[in-house]
Chains A and B, each alone.
Chain A
Amino acid sequence: AQRVTQPEKLLSVFKGAPVELKCNYSYSGSPELFWYVQYSRQRLQLLLRHISRESIKGFTADLNKGETSFHLKKPFAQEEDSAMYYCALSGSGLRGRAQKLVFGQGTRLTINP
Chain B
Amino acid sequence: ETGVTQSPTHLIKTRGQQVTLRCSSQSGHNTVSWYQQALGQGPQFIFQYYREEENGRGNFPPRFSGLQFPNYSSELNVNALELDDSALYLCASSNGRVSGNTIYFGEGSWLTVV
**Residues 35-62 of A at the B interface (beta carbon under 8 Å):** 43-46, 51
Query: Range of interface residues on chain A?
Result: 20 to 34
Q: Is the CB of A93 within 8 A of B108?
A: no
**Residues 36-60 of B at the A interface (beta carbon under 8 Å):** 40-45, 47-48, 50, 54-59
Q: Does chain A have a CB within 8 A of B82?
A: no
Query: Range of interface residues on chain B?
Result: 35 or more
Assembled-state Cα–Cα distance A104/B42 (Å): 6
* Closest A residue to B90 using CB positions: A44
Q: Does chain B have a CB within 8 A of A12?
A: no
Q: Does chain A have a CB within 8 A of B105?
A: yes
Q: Is the CB of A103 within 8 A of B42?
A: yes
- Listed A/B pairs (21) with beta-carbon separation below 8 Å: A4-B42, A45-B104, A45-B105, A93-B57, A94-B56, A94-B58, A94-B59, A96-B56, A98-B56, A98-B97, A99-B31, A99-B33, A99-B94, A99-B103, A100-B45, A101-B35, A101-B43, A101-B103, A103-B42, A104-B42, A105-B40
Residues of A within 8 A of B (CB): 4, 9, 32, 43-46, 51, 86, 88, 90, 92-106
